[in-house]
Structure 1
Amino acid sequence: MTDTDTMRDPVCGMDVSPVTSVTSTEYDGTTYHFCSEDCYHTFSENPAQYASA
């Protein structure tokens, strides 16, 4: 993966680079990357709500 590859933050929808994302977590076999600690914490409170987004 390169710096130009992006993934969508499941909480806010922002495109983030997995290489430079603030944090990431794995849920149900998928790795999610986040633009901020706030998005990470929101996801962590109810991952099922955002994992299907």
Structure 2
Amino acid sequence: MYASVAQQPMELGRIAVRNALRAADGKNVEKMVKVPVKAVTKENVADFEG
């Protein structure tokens, strides 16, 4: 395996809460929301250790 993909749960949560608040206020919310992912390689894997 040369790489993997890291999802960003904090960003996903932030967007979900923002959209929930918008919907509760009667505002339009996108039907599809794209959350960025990051490629994890041997060069940057240390950035994802927690």
Whether these two folds match at TM > 0.5 is: no
Please identify which structure carries the higher strand content.
1
Rg larger for: 2
Q: TM-score, normalised by structure 1?
A: 0.22
Between 1 and 2, higher relative CO (CA 8 Å, sep ≥ 6) is seen in 2
Structure with the higher helix share, 1 or 2: 2
